Amino acid sequence: MKKVLVAYFSASGTTKKAASLLAKAANADLYEIKPKEPYTAADLDWTNKRSRSTLEMTDPASRPELADMGAPVSVCDAVFLGFPIWWYTAPTIIKTFLESYDFSGKQIVLFATSGGSGLGRTESALRPCAPNAIWKGGKLINGASENSLKSWVESLKL
């Protein structure tokens, strides 16, 4: 039986709820990706051109520091990687996470929550951060039920 991990970043709690449901549906371990410096409400104000999140998302080299390096990636065969969609893609901390571990030969399946946009080109933007992984696509899971997530997980044949 394959060992599966659901790793996620959640700024407001929405992605955390989705990740918890997905972990149940996939019979997977759950790991929260946390920034060393937690985001405040002001940091997340996308309408402010000087907010932390805006500055990070407009700087291609931005890699927010992780709070820890405790994700059990090395013992997993597959990783569901989740996040909210920011500026039509993954928050830059996801690149930090991918570049901090060895994903060689591991399957990565993206999942996201969003208030309005889809995954777009998120996978192609993240692939260079873990070039030796096996990328399996992904989907938005806003409001998904445990049963629908279970069906999705089964369809992936991880």
pLDDT single digits (tens) 68-84? 999 999 999 999 999 99
Q: Give the pLDDT of residue 125.
A: 95
Report yes or no: 88 and 57 within 8 Å, Cβ to Cβ.
no
Q: Give the pLDDT of residue 97.
A: 98
Averaged pLDDT of the chain: 95
* Domains detected in the chain: 4-156 (3.40.50.360)
**pLDDT category of residue 17 using cuts at 50, 70 and 90:** very high
Q: Which residue has the higher pLDDT, 64 or 12?
A: 64
Q: What is the pTM of this model?
A: 0.95
Q: Which residues contact 78 (CB under 8 A, 6 or more apart)?
A: 2, 3, 4, 5, 106, 107, 108, 109, 136, 158
Q: Give the pLDDT of residue 1.
A: 63
pLDDT at residue 117 tops 90: no
The total of other beta-carbon atoms located within 10 Å of residue 63's CB is 15
Residues linked to residue 5 through DSSP beta bridges, in sequence order: 29, 79
Exposed e or buried b for every residue in 88-117, given b needs 16+ CB within 10 A?
Answer: ebbbbbbbbbbebbebeebbbbbbbbbeee
Report yes or no: 139 and 152 within 8 Å, Cβ to Cβ.
yes
Q: Are strands 107-113 and 134-140 parallel, antiparallel or unpaired?
A: parallel
Q: Give the pLDDT of residue 26.
A: 96
Report yes or no: 34 and 66 within 8 Å, Cβ to Cβ.
yes
Estimate to the nearest angstrom the gap between the alpha carbon of 7 and the chain centroid: 6
Average pLDDT over residues 27-42: 96
**pLDDT category of residue 113 using cuts at 50, 70 and 90:** very high
Distance, in Å, from the CA atom of 76 to the CA atom of 99, rounded to the nearest integer, reads: 16
Q: Give the pLDDT of residue 151.
A: 96
